[in-house]
Structure formats: structure tokens, C-alpha cells
Chain A
Amino acid sequence: MRWLLAKDLRILLRSRLLLGLLIIYPIAIALLIGLAISRSPGKPKVAIVNLSLPGQEIEIGNNRLDISHYTASLMDKVSPVVLSSRAQAVNAVSSGKVLAALVLPADFTQRLSSVLTQARVEVLYNGNALEQSLVRSTVDSALAEANLVLADEIKQLAAEDIDLLLKGGNFHILGSEREILGLSRIAAVLHAIVRKQPPGATRAKLARVASFADFAAQNLDLSKQVLTTVSQPIQVSATLLHGRRTPLDAYAVVVAVSISLMFLAVLLAAAGIALEREEHTLARLIRGPPGLPALLSREKMVLEKVIFAAACAVIVAFSMLAGISAFISLEWGRAALWLVALVVGAAAFAALGVAIGTLAREVRAASLLSFALALPLAFLALVPAGAVTSGLYDVIQVISFIFPFKACLQGLDCAVNRASPGLGVSLAHLLGIAVGYSLLARLALRRTA
């Protein structure tokens, strides 16, 4: 078998295009992923037209809020292009200079201050269905965050007014400062007056007023909490059931490496066995000279192709991980586990590749078949639960169980990111898949050679 491995390596080294691809591919992918995840995502370019008068303030009770707080918060979420009229905004969106435009109308502040009517912001956008969806989600998100900031500031101002009503203090009105007593202190004063009053109808009435002042002070104090609840009614408390939380960038690395591992192992294995048939050497190898044993048994033939393809894929995938670790922090202390996950995953993919390769008579057909099968399998394995109907998801689960991509992704995620459900489970699953496809390939060789 070692002579056949050496032969395959020699052929690979002489296939300059394929060899170049194997060297350039991991470097290019590592650089792309590294650059993509080491920089924050770009903000969408959005035109902002503020038609409300400059310096306008929102009046809330005794306090004022500058409208520029809102626009600043909004501009922080996008890459703003400040324009002065709606017509300019329409032109900018139509020409594609900006993704969308936000128009704050002249009555924006007035409506916001009135409390009785909602302020409105106009969003202008264009493009195809995908762009429209992106713009809507981006702008909605930016507006929601800006609204939240505004709501928080309004809540703060309202809380200050409530504090003044409750505890008393200085109060500005018509340019002069006045001191107000506050509900808490009013209740104390009333109780003191009640104690000095002789028993009778007047004392009883005063006592009822003092009790009401007590009641009002206590409930007004609660209203601050109510304001917090109204501004952010739901607070999220997330609990991760297994393992540790995987950052999105680290998971993206695992997905990229798994996809590369899959394509390399499946394509090399499928092309390797198909090449033996294309060159008509398969029969010569597994039949052997007349009257003598086969040069290579069918089992060894399958094993040789799996070892060769898996070894090449592991080298490339490990190089990718090493390259990407220059951009994001990966635990090199777990490198042995990365290697184990890569080796077992690559073996499962390679066994699948050999099974595919035995069905094809030519390298091109084997490569096309591998590509056509591997791509949707990877896509299906990434579909999250809840994204499709439960029946369809069950089908996807079965497919993901039969094919190695999901198990490899989970195993590598566990090895690289300490994710669940545990490396052992994934490795056992992958080994089962590898054995299953190797047996299928062995059967196919018996039928076709």
C-alpha cells in the first residue's frame, strides 16, 4: 500500500494546478476569514436630513432635552451623510450613493414634545429584494437603538421631576426659582398639624388628608420603577445549557475549516479512486496477474485512498487554523485535540469521497458529483432549529446524521472552542460514518471493478 501512497503523492505533486490550489487555498481562506473577523462590520452609509429647527429642545415637565441627542445617537449607528433637503436624499438613494435616507420632518420636535402624538421619521430606500431587506433591518435596528436611548433619557428626566414632587426642592418657572415642599414633607407637616388640633370634625378631615398624602408619596416613589419597566419591559436572561459560550468569530473559523476539510477530503478521495478507473489501472490492481493474488485487496484500495485524501486535507486544514490564529485568539494548548478532530473528520469525508468516486468512471464526473453533493450537505447542517418547519427539520437532522459535516463541525467546535456535546460523541459518530462509507465503497468496487 505504501507504494500506491507514494504513487498518489507523486501524481499530486506533478498536478501543478491542483497542488497550487492546495497551497494557495488555505492561505487565501485564512487571510479572508482573519481579515473579515478581525475588523468590525462596516456601518451602512445612510443619508440624514434633519428638517427640524437647529437647537430645538424637547420639553418634558420642568426639563429640556436637546434634539441633537437623538440625531447623534442615530448617526452613531450608521455612517451618516448629512443632507439638507428631502429632494437631495431622494437623489442620493436613487443614484445608489447611500443605502437609505432618514428624514426628520420639521414638526419632529414639536410632536415629540407634545406627548399626545408620535413623532415620525421617514425612511427612503431602494434596490432589489435583498438590499431592501438589508436596509429595512439595518435602519429598523438603528432606529430602535436610537429610540431606546431617547426613551432612557426621557425616563431620567421624568424620574428627576418625580423626585422633585416627592422630596421637594428648587423649581424653575417663568425665569424665577421657587422652592416646593414635596409630597413626603407635606405628609409630615400635615401629621404635625393634626396632632395639635382638638378632636372633632376638622381634625378628622385633616387626618384623612394627611393619610392621603402618605399614600400618594409612597405610590409616587413606585412610579420610578414603573417608568423603568415601561421603557424596557423585557430584560433578557440567557442560560447556556452545555459547554461555554462560543464567540461568533471563533465559530466562523470552525465552519470555514470544516468546509475546507470537507471539500478537500471528499474531492481528493473521489478523484483518486476515479483516476484509477479512468487510467484502467483499477482492474489491474485489484485483480492482479493471472493465477496470482491481487496486487491490492479492495479493502486496502479503499483504505489507501482514505488515508491519502485525509492526510492532505488535514495538512491543509491545520495550516488554515494556524494561519487564522494570527488574527484571532485560539487555544494552542488544545492543538492535539484539533488534530484528532481533523483526522477523524477528514477520514469520514474521505470515506464518503471514495464511495462517490466508485460510482463515477471519470475524474471530472467524480469531482462534479462530490461538489454537487457536499455543498448542500454543508448548507443543511448549518440550518438552525426553528428556521424551518419541524417536519423538514427532522428530515435535515436525519441527513445530517448520515453525512459527516455536522458531526465534524460539532467535533471541531468542541476541540477548538470547548463547545458541547463533547468531542468523544462526535468522534464516535464520525468513525461510524467513516466505517459505513468505507464498506459502501468496498461493495461498489466489487460491483464495478
Chain B
Amino acid sequence: MEPLGRSSAVSEAEPRQRSGEQAEPVLEVTDVSKRYGEREALRGVSFSAHAGERVAIIGPNGAGKTTLLSIVAGTQAPTSGMVSCPPGQVGWVPQQPAVYSKLSVAENLELFARLEKVKDPAVAVQRMLDQSGLRERAGEQVGRLSGGNRQRVNIAIGLLRDPPALLLDEPSSSLDPRQRERLWQFVGTLAQRGTSVVFSTHNVSEAERRADRVLVLADGELLFTGTAAELKREVSHGVEHDFEGAFVAFLRERGH
């Protein structure tokens, strides 16, 4: 099924290096399907992400959000279709922080920089301490950090190779509102610097506020791609909806 909308508007933060229609996308997913036995987890999903763009993948439980992200990340192979991105050009941040609690922030960054064979680990560590805003806490053990700061370390590790695209799987799911705010500030800064950020979330209002574009997945099918405002217009029919209401109405209209 063809996507129903097209990206045109920007919701909150204007990317520093927003690409126009003609710019080459950083990440391009073409007609990706995934089948587990008889069950079709993804059906012909296509989308692209440009430099500095924040793309949110939303949908009900079992829609295929994590499957799509893991295929883009390369941790799963698609049954058919193609993901075009050069090797090492995508950073992957798992849902749970994958960091060592007994090591400090800097030690975690240095360890993964060395394991990933980053050219100059010391420089990469300093860069990520600056970007993540954790320089003052560089010597602190990760186990003593708040959930939000731990997630920042998690994201910083995904960015050690300075990839142009970053995939985040439900990054704010276990954070309190204050920690969530700090996390999105960090992600916003990354996008402003030109990193293309693709994230999945259950929180649709978060997608409205934090994403330039939303992808709506249901039962493995991509039902919509466009801005939050466009999605609202899709279902308004003269009735005023908030984004969450519009999202639910949209799914209902499409039989989900």
C-alpha cells in the first residue's frame, strides 16, 4: 500500500541541515517485508530519512515498529525489500541502556570506542561527553546516574562512530517526565547538528512534539507518512481533534 501523506511541514525544531526534496536521503527503506512463518510482520514498507530530520514510528502494539527498526539497524534480515545505507552509517540505540553500571561514563565510552575500533578513541570520548552534556559527570559510575542520563550514555555509545543516522527504539519508555525532557533536548541537538534520527514510541503526543515526520504502522503496514498536522487533517472532517484523538480516529477509519 502506498503511503498516504508526504512530508512537508516541520513541527517544533527546525533542523540545521534540512534537506530539500532533491537532497539524497541518508537512509532509504524500499518495499521491506518480514515474515515469521505464516505471520507477516511487515508488508512492503518504504520510507526515507534525510539529514537533520527526526522521524517517529508510531503504531499500536504488534504493529511492527521494533521489527522495522531492527531490520534498518541490520540486526534482522528482511524477507524481501532493501535498506540502503552504507556500512557503519547507522547508529543503533537499544531500548534498554546497554552500558556497564560499574564503569564510569568516560570508561564506557572509551571501552566501546576501542571495541568499535574508532580511529581516535580519546577524541571520540571527548566529543560525546560534550554532545551528551555529561562532561561534568564523566568520572561517575553509570549505575549512580539517573535513568535519563544513563539513556544519554546509551545514545552517546550509538553515536561514537559519528553516524549520519541514528535509530532509537522507544528511548523514553522508562523515563520520568523531567528525564524525558532532557533526553529530547539531547536528541534535538543531535538533529540540529545534522544527524537523521529515527525513533519508535508508544507516546503519540511525544511523536507530535518531537518529530518532523511521523510514520504510522499497523499490522506491519505503513498507513501514513507525513507531519502530525497532516495526520490531523486526514481525519478532521470538520471535527477538531488533538493528535492522540486524530491518531485513534485514523486507525479506526482504516479498520485497526
A interface with B by C-beta (< 8 Å): 3-4, 7, 10-11, 14-15, 279-281, 283-285, 287-292, 295-296
Assuming the A-B contacts A291-B74, A295-B115, are A7 and B100 also in contact, with contact meaning beta carbons closer than 8 angstroms in the complex? yes
CB nearest to A2 among chain B residues: B114
What residues of chain B lie closer than 8 Å to A285, measured between beta carbons?
115
Interface residue from A7, A11, A279, A289 paired with B88 (Cβ < 8 Å) = A289
Assuming the A-B contacts A7-B103, A279-B99, are A291 and B88 also in contact, with contact meaning beta carbons closer than 8 angstroms in the complex? yes
Taken residue by residue from 186 to 197, chain B's Cβ proximity to chain A (1 for < 8 Å, 0 otherwise) reads as: 000000000000
Query: B85 on the interface (CB 8 Å rule)?
Result: yes
What residues of chain B lie closer than 8 Å to A296, measured between beta carbons?
115
CB nearest to B107 among chain A residues: A10
Assuming the A-B contacts A289-B91, A290-B73, are A279 and B115 also in contact, with contact meaning beta carbons closer than 8 angstroms in the complex? no
What residues of chain A lie closer than 8 Å to B87, measured between beta carbons?
291-292
Interface residue from A14, A280, A291, A295 paired with B90 (Cβ < 8 Å) = A291
Assuming the A-B contacts A14-B102, A289-B88, A292-B87, are A4 and B167 also in contact, with contact meaning beta carbons closer than 8 angstroms in the complex? no
What residues of chain A lie closer than 8 Å to B161, measured between beta carbons?
289
B interface with A by C-beta (< 8 Å): 72-75, 85-92, 94, 96-103, 107, 111-112, 114-116, 141, 157-158, 161, 163, 167
What residues of chain B lie closer than 8 Å to A283, measured between beta carbons?
75, 94, 98
What residues of chain B lie closer than 8 Å to A291, measured between beta carbons?
74, 85-90
User: Contact at A10–B94, with CB atoms within 8 Å?
Assistant: no
User: Contact at A3–B111, with CB atoms within 8 Å?
Assistant: yes
| Shortest distance from the beta carbon of A3 to any chain B beta carbon, whole Å | 5
Q: Complex Cα distance A3/B108, Å?
A: 11
What residues of chain B lie closer than 8 Å to A4, measured between beta carbons?
111, 115
> Top 10 nearest A-B pairs by Cβ distance?
A291-B87, A290-B74, A280-B98, A295-B115, A290-B73, A284-B98, A290-B90, A280-B96, A11-B102, A281-B98
Q: Complex Cα distance A3/B75, Å?
A: 24
Interface residue from B75, B111, B112 paired with A287 (Cβ < 8 Å) = B75
Assuming the A-B contacts A289-B91, A290-B74, are A281 and B115 also in contact, with contact meaning beta carbons closer than 8 angstroms in the complex? no
Interface residue from A11, A279, A289 paired with B98 (Cβ < 8 Å) = A279
User: Contact at A3–B99, with CB atoms within 8 Å?
Assistant: no
What residues of chain A lie closer than 8 Å to B103, measured between beta carbons?
7, 10-11
| Shortest distance from the beta carbon of B63 to any chain A beta carbon, whole Å | 21
User: Contact at A280–B102, with CB atoms within 8 Å?
Assistant: no
Assuming the A-B contacts A3-B111, A3-B115, A285-B115, are A290 and B167 also in contact, with contact meaning beta carbons closer than 8 angstroms in the complex? yes
| Shortest distance from the beta carbon of A266 to any chain B beta carbon, whole Å | 21
CB nearest to B85 among chain A residues: A291
Q: Complex Cα distance A280/B112, Å?
A: 14
Q: Complex Cα distance A15/B141, Å?
A: 12
CB nearest to A14 among chain B residues: B102
22 CB < 8 A contacts A-B: A3-B111, A3-B114, A3-B115, A4-B111, A7-B111, A10-B102, A15-B102, A281-B98, A284-B112, A289-B88, A289-B92, A289-B158, A289-B161, A289-B163, A290-B72, A290-B73, A290-B75, A290-B90, A291-B86, A291-B87, A291-B88, A295-B116
